Chains A and B, each alone.
Chain A
Amino acid sequence: MKVLVTILIVVTAISSIALSQERPYFVTYSHEMEEPGNLEIESFNVVGKPTKGNRFLGSDVEFEYGATAWWTSEFYLDGQTTANDSTIFTGFRWENRIRPLMREHWINPVLYVEYENTSADKALREVVGHDGNDDFLESNRAARPDVEREMELKLILGSNYHGWNISENFIGEKNLAAEPWEFGYAWAISRPLKLAASAHRCTFCAERFQAGVEMYGGLGDWHSFGLNQTSHYFGPTVNWSAPSGATISFSPQFGLNDYSIGHLYRFGISYEIEQVFGRLHRGGQ
């Protein structure tokens, strides 16, 4: 842990921090990639209280690196704390996003591949299959031995139109043990509060805020595809990009049926460090 902290301090010291231009989404991916050579450090958190269960805080720390203009790689460390229970490290995830088309189109596809190794995870970074309220009732001690090694595929579709970003994700997840494919979806729409930038530098001007809505949920599994016994969430979402380089995001989200957790409160913060390994990239246009 000390090594990790030392690396972070050194990396931050030798690099400059840039204004992030993140979408205010917590589950949905847009088609926009990390700029090549930039490293974004993010922390996303969710607070919820399942029916008949204990309140929990699920968290992850993400290291997102723009390997090229069309390939972004991201590593996650996950943890959670549950009231009247314990605080535990729940595992890691590694994802790669590849943009197959080299130009901007009306709809822009991105292919997403992720491997995860988690147990008792409550970060809720996606909802698939029949994930629901009851998955959050087990104690950490009971849930922890059940280690899930999963491969997740996503088709990310994104469009930018007159300042609006519209993103849709189709999710397929396979537990590498003998379990069926599970499916899910996510979509979101957002827009900066002002499209043109101000001529003067400002902290709370409208173009630094983005607002929108986000919805996601499960679509059953290979044997029972559909909406039966699946959970779904919807809510407004907003973020603010501070001049210091941080982006702060918040979203209250509401479970849409009895199978969902009633309310989720999501918040996150991210820093973008420019050209962290810039010497490795060839450049030019």
Chain B
Amino acid sequence: MKIRLLSVILLFSALAFAVADGAWLANVPGSDHQRTNPYSSRVDAIEAGRNIFEEHCAKCHGENAEGTKKRPSLRTARVQQQATPGDLHWLLVNGNMKRGMPSWAKLPDPQLWQLVAYVKSLREQ
């Protein structure tokens, strides 16, 4: 009986974890999903975004955004291909607080878009 109960708990925990991992993408409203980055492909914006990344994000996501033991890589297909710039901007504004990602709404909007420009530029590196 105990083994069956433990199995059910483990199964639900695994399902919950699987749904939560990346589930933020499903929460992005359509209007945010479709937003375009006003700083897209601008070299100076990517450079500025890299400075912002190194100051605020690198400690958790790694110096080259490759992820760390506890925090995810930003070079995955989900971030680089599946997520639009609008999705990433929405994530930065709102965070994913239950999963440990804080809101970065304290950074001005232009800086958030510069950061998105830098993260998206990693795909080409």
Contact = CB atoms under 8 A, between A and B. Distances in A.
Interface of A: 16, 18-19, 21, 23, 30, 32-33, 35-37, 66, 68-70, 99, 102-104, 160, 162-163, 165, 192, 195-201, 207, 274-275, 278-279, 281-285
Contacts of B70: 278-279, 281-284
15 contacts: A18-B56, A35-B102, A104-B93, A104-B94, A104-B95, A160-B105, A197-B49, A197-B51, A197-B114, A199-B51, A283-B71, A284-B70, A284-B99, A285-B21, A285-B91
A198 B48 contact: yes
Given A21-B107, A68-B100, A285 B60 contact: no
Describe B's contact surface by its main secondary structure: helix
Interface residues of B, number: 39
Given A197-B51, A201-B51, A285 B108 contact: no
Q: Choose among A23, A37, A104, A200 the residue with the greatest number of B CB atoms under 10 Å from its CB.
A: A104
Contact of B109 (A33, A68, A162, A284): A162
B6 to A, nearest CB: 21
Given A30-B106, A103-B94, A283-B60, 9 more contacts: A32-B105, A69-B97, A102-B94, A104-B93, A196-B111, A207-B111, A278-B70, A282-B100, A284-B72
Contacts of A200: 47
B123 interface: no
Nearest to B92: A104
B111 A69 contact: no
B59 to A, nearest CB: 4
